[in-house]
Amino acid sequence: MKLTFSAADEAFREEIAGWLQRNLCGEFEAIRFRGGPGDEHMFHEQRHAWEQKMAEGGWTCIGWPKSVGGRGCSIEQQVIFHEEYARAGGPGRVGHIGEGLAGPTIIAFGSEAQKQKYLPGIVSGKELWCQGYSEPGAGSDLANVKTKARFDSARQQWVISGQKVWTSLAHEADYCFVIARTDPDSTAHKGLGFFLVKMDQPGVEVRPIQQITGTCEFNEVFFDDAVCAADDMVGAPGDGWKVAMGLLGFERGVSTLGQQMQFQNEFNDILRIAQQNGAAQDPVLRQRIAKAHTELKIMRYNAMRMLSGQAGSDGALQREALIYKLYWATWHRELGELAMDVLGPESQILEGAPYQLSRLQAMYLFVRSDTIYGGTNQIQRNIIAERGLGMPKEPKPTTAGTQ
Amino acid sequence: MEFAFTEEQNMIRDTAESFLREVSTSNAIRAAMESVEGYDPALWQSICQDLYWQAIHTPEAYGGMGLGYVELVAMQEQMGRFLLCSPFFASVGLATNALLVAGTEQQKQTWLPELMAGKTATLAFGGNALAQRGGTWHAAAVEATWQHTADGYVLNGEYRYVLDATTADILILTARQVGSVGAEGVALFVVAAAAEVEVEGIERSALPTMDQTRRQGCITLNSLRVPAEQRLGDPRDARGGQTLQIILDLATIALAAEQMGGAQQLLDMTVAYSKERTQFGRPIAGFQAIKHKAADMMLRVEVARSGVYYAACIAQQALDDLLSGTSCDSLCNTPCDTAALAEAASIAKSYCSEAYFKNAGEAIQIHGGVGFTWEYDVHLYFKRAKASEHYLGNAAWHRERLASLLLDTERLDKADLHQEAAR
């Protein structure tokens, strides 16, 4: 067990840090530290240009194998990359859904044709993706998707109808990966398909959702006989759940380290304010600040345990990985509250009218979603208890009350 | 970077686990609680002679096994898990560390082999001041005094909350020069004081403790004469207070590991019980109200574990730095990152203290009525959790220390400096 990196990895650190220093400037100066969660609607054009700049330097999809256009970086190098990126104030990546979710899914489950068709656009930073999972009736109960996919055998294409919700980047994305019911008589996780759907077509309509922050980063997406070529289904009809769950596994990757650096930046802002406005002398706030620091620091080592550990032979998550979402989401939510309490009454004064929030104010509001999306805290606790501790699953509705 | 146990470390952990599961049973713990010593001396001798655990992180040059702090922590975790009643923590976590950090080469050569041979030891450093403001655990709380004599020193004063005070064979005594305050004038002394032998100038008495699995006591010094060579370190070194802090921080990390092990065991006991206990026609483990509590318990255990392993790596680094110094005063020449060690210790102890106690409280709640009985073991953990929380500083004490590191100095972490420079 050791915490230090090899000399080769430290050289890699210098390489990426140097590249960022030389490139994240000039026209990109304005987007440093911007476009993260709560701020994703900002500077889209510049950030899309930045994504392509990253691609030119070979800094997109660094964890992908070289054979599919990636950089083939080790876990350690990816950790370093994310640390340096966040340290330099690298803007929120517009390509993260393609790089982190769609791409790995296509690499793992997609056909050769799909790899050739979709991966280069992700690597180049040109084509953007969004995720079509949640529906009004399928939140925590994700398997309850109602969106239907009907096969039109004459045209050899799928016809998709239904509604998705909480789709970030939908208005900017070129493609959406959608889970939809291929077997109309099926229920729950059976009878689903996984589709790669082009957004720019008559059957797709995107409507923004105004959030608690007043801004619109998420959308509703309506599919009204949208089409998807037969070749653009990943796996077979009925494989959708398996593919989707495989994808959720990719979500808990090394990017968590980058997320933590962003947390560190937010925490540092709070520290600075506390020192400036005297909150640093308040014994209760001192305790809360120290607690936030403690838990952030441990978050890093927990993530390193996750990355150093190996999943069980059945692909089951290690315990430190099982608790991770519940842990960071709850921590981040408390950080938002701490930020406001350190700011005191000034926390209630906006940067400008009509509703221009400061970075910390936006964070404070936005983090209320952290404990909801990607599995609510309550769902996480069920998962921990059932998979981590072997406690009984929730009873099925049909048997509830009869026992 | 490799933040996982090596195969050897896994083996050490597994060996400790299977041995302790065998010997530290509920009956054995209760027998130890009722014994005069507070532990089973025969078991301690068997641990020292057959398993050599007391030697785990002591360098081979002093008769140790030469393994590291991660190994020590792995072992301490299992001892906490099985609630081993033992002089291990006081002898290894406190006294051995004190000798390693503060002793001269000569002193290490003299005293460490004694410990390696199975002698027990403890560190006494504070008196009533330790209890001020809910717990004050730094050099400023040292009240006993030392004065020069013609051929050494004379020590006076009272110590309280001394682990294994009445049974330890070797005492590490902390005292300050008469008239000094704060971290100034603090020095450590080592004294042989086998329990059965009366030493002139030392009175020892047991304090009845709520947690009966680890003994505490008082030591009173009345003009105790200590030869010059039994003052640890170079007498010209004025940084005894800092040395004491390093020792306490190392011990704190070992104690945090024990707390984490205890928190783990409470989770395991509680989940097992909830699967057996039936109400409303099904195991209570099936109720979300129970599952969610158990999930939170597991979260605390895993986070505590990550914190302890990180702290162990930092402790290892600090010890490596200290021990690589070849002069009589290793502190003079070596750049041991005391701030990093203090931070790691406070992070681990503040989190583990709360994790252990919260898990203990939830364990009683989920066990229901039987969790409130003397017969079930839950209360033993509940009591050990509070005792450990208040030894070497509770969560609030350690958080205040962290707050001070973060807020009261210009010290910024590297990430912050980078960001500053870039702006």
- The domain that holds A178 is classified in CATH as 2.40.110.10
A156 with A232, same domain: the answer is yes
ipTM: 0.93
Confidence of residue A252 (pLDDT cuts 50, 70, 90): low
- Is the same domain home to A57 and A89? yes
Residue A244 belongs to some domain of the structure: no
- List the one residue out of A390, A246, A387, A263 whose CA is nearest residue A330: A263
> Containing H/E element for B159?
strand B152-163
Summarize the confidence of residues A23-30 as an average pLDDT. Answer: 96
A209 membership: H or E segment, kind and range:
strand A204-209
Q: Which of A264, A308, A327 sits opposite B303 (nearest CB)?
A: A327
pLDDT of residue B49: 97
Helix (H) or strand (E) holding A108: helix A103-109
Number of domains in chain A: 3
Identify whether residues A181 and A264 lie together within a single domain. Answer: no
**Would you say B242 and B336 are in contact if contact means Cβ atoms under 8 Å apart?**
no
Q: Are residues A364 and A302 in the same domain?
A: yes
> Using H for helix, E for strand and C for coil, what is the string for A345-362?
HHHHCCCECCCECCHHHH
Q: Are B194 and B167 in contact (CB under 8 A)?
A: no
In this predicted model, which residue has the larger pLDDT, A79 or A54?
Answer: A54
Report the residue of chain A nearest B3, measured CA to CA.
Answer: A1
Q: How far apart are CA A148 and CA A314, in angstroms?
A: 31
Q: Which residue has the tokens 């490139």?
A: A23
Q: Where do the structural domains in chain B lie, given as residue ranges?
A: 7-120, 122-230, 240-422
CB neighbour burial string for B123-140, b if at least 16 within 10 angstroms, e if fewer? bbbbbeebeeeebebbbb
Closest CA to A217 of A399, A37, A29, A16: A37
Selected from 3.40.50.880, 3.40.190.10, 1.20.140.10, 3.40.50.300, the CATH number assigned to the domain covering B240-422 reads 1.20.140.10
Overall CATH class of domain B7-120: mainly alpha
- The answer to whether A152 and A231 are in contact (CB under 8 A) is no
Comparing A121-130, A315-324, B371-380, the range with the smallest average pLDDT is A315-324
Contact predicate B315/B373, CB 8 Å: no
* CB nearest B299 (choices: A301, A307, A323): A323
Question: What amino acid occupies position B61?
Answer: A
Q: What span, in angstroms and rounded, lies between the C-alpha atoms of B400 and B221? A: 32
Q: Give the separation between CA B385 and CA B259, rounded to whole angstroms.
A: 7
Active site residue A99: no
Is residue A292 included in any domain, yes or no?
Answer: yes
Q: Which one of B264, B291, B292, B352 makes the best mutation probe of the A interface by having the most chain A beta carbons within 10 Å?
A: B291
Q: Are B373 and B364 in contact (CB under 8 A)?
A: no
- Residues in chain A, overall count: 403
Cβ–Cβ gap A294/B292 under 8 Å? no
Provide the percentage of residues in chain B whose pLDDT is more than 90.
87
Q: Is residue A138 situated within a structural domain?
A: yes
Taking Cα atoms as reference points, which of A235, A237, A257 lies closest to residue A246?
Answer: A235
Give buried/exposed letters for B149-175 (b at 16+ CB in 10 A, else e). eeebbbbbbbbbbbbbbbbbbbbbbbb
> What pLDDT does A401 receive?
47
Least confident of B131-135, B220-224, B337-341: B131-135
Mean of the per-residue pLDDT values of chain A? 91
CB contact under 8 A, A298 and B303: yes
A320 touches chain B (CB under 8 A): yes
- Structural domain ending residue among the three candidates A94, A119, A152: A94
Is B290's Cβ below 8 Å from some Cβ in A?
yes
**Residue spans of beta strands (DSSP E) within A291-399:** none
Cα separation, A40 vs B122, in Å, equals: 57
CB contact under 8 A, A298 and B306: yes
Same domain for A205 and A166: yes
Mean pLDDT calculated for residue range A50-59: 97
Same domain, A160 and A194: yes
Does A103 map to a domain?
no
Q: Is A297 on the interface with B (CB under 8 A)?
A: yes
Identify which of A397, A394, A368, A395 has the alpha carbon closest to the alpha carbon of residue A381. A394
The confidence score (pLDDT) of residue A256 equals: 75
| Chain A hits for B416, Cβ within 8 Å | 268
CATH number at residue A62: 1.10.540.10
Q: Which residue of B has its CA nearest to A76?
A: B1
List the single range of A129-143, A153-167, B16-30 with lowest mean pLDDT.
A129-143
Q: What is the pLDDT of residue A248?
A: 67
Arithmetic mean of pLDDT, A41-65: 95
Angle at B422 between CA B419 and CA B423, to 5 degrees: 90
- State whether A272 and A375 are in the same domain: yes
Q: What is the DSSP letter of A341?
A: H
State which of A186, A211, A237 marks the end of a domain: A237
B325 — pLDDT class (breaks 50, 70, 90): low
CA distance A60 to A51: 8
Q: What is the mean pLDDT of residues B59-68?
A: 96
Instruction: Catalytic residue, from A15, A127, A251, A320: name it.
Output: A251
| Average confidence (pLDDT) over A60-71 | 95
pLDDT band, residue B125 (cuts 50/70/90): very high
Q: Say yes or no: A77 and A179 in one domain.
A: no
Q: Is residue A243 part of a domain?
A: no
Helix or strand run (H / E) with residue A246? helix A240-251
A387 interfacial to chain B (CB closer than 8 Å)? no
Q: Which of residues 268-287 of A touch B (CB under 8 A)?
A: 268, 271, 274-275, 280, 283, 286-287
User: Is residue B413 pLDDT above 70, yes or no?
Assistant: no
Chain B residues within an 8 Å CB radius of A322 = 298, 302
* Beta pairing, strands A157-165 & B121-124: unpaired
pLDDT of B133 reads 85
With 0-12 / 13-18 / 19 or more C-beta atoms within 10 angstroms meaning exposed / middle / buried, residue B59 is middle
* Residue type at B98 in one-letter notation: A
Q: Which of A5, A301, A403 sits opposite B310 (nearest CB)?
A: A301
Query: Are both A74 and A147 inside the same structural domain?
Result: no
A233 and A262 housed in the same domain: no
Q: Give the pLDDT band of residue A255 (cuts 50, 70, 90).
A: low
Distance between CA atoms of B316 and A294, rounded to whole angstroms?
20
Using the 3D structure, point to which of A94, A111, A144 is the last residue of a domain: A94
CB contact under 8 A, B305 and A320: yes
- Residue B287: count of CB within 10 angstroms of its CB: 17
Measured between alpha carbons, how far is residue B337 from residues A260, B81, B322, B342, B344 in Å?
24, 30, 10, 9, 11
pLDDT (average), residues B268-281: 97
Closest by alpha carbon to A71, among A279, A254, A344, A325? A254
The tens digit of pLDDT for each residue in B64-96 reads 999 999 999 999 999 999 999 999 999 999 999
Residue A123 within any structural domain of the chain: no
Nearest by CB: B402 against A3, A290, A382 = A290
User: How would residue A262 be classed by pLDDT, with cut points 50, 70 and 90?
Assistant: confident
CA geometry: angle A33, A38, A39, nearest 5 deg: 45
Per the structure, the complete domain to which residue A182 belongs is given by 129-237
What homologous superfamily does CATH list for B122-230?
Butyryl-CoA Dehydrogenase, subunit A, domain 2 (2.40.110.10)
Same domain, A233 and A273: no
A286 closest CB neighbour out of B280, B343, B400: B400
pLDDT band at B327 (very low <50, low <70, confident <90, very high): very low
Provide, rounded to the nearest whole percent, the portion of chain A with pLDDT above 70.
95
pLDDT of residue B326: 42
pLDDT of residue B328: 39
* Res. B415: pLDDT tops 60: no
pLDDT value, residue A8: 93
By mean pLDDT, which of A81-90, A127-136, A378-387, B349-358 is the weakest? A81-90
Neighbours of A206 (CB within 10 A): 18
Q: Within this chain, do residues A231 and A257 fall inside the same structural domain, yes or no?
A: no
Q: Which comes out higher in pLDDT, residue B243 or A305?
A: B243
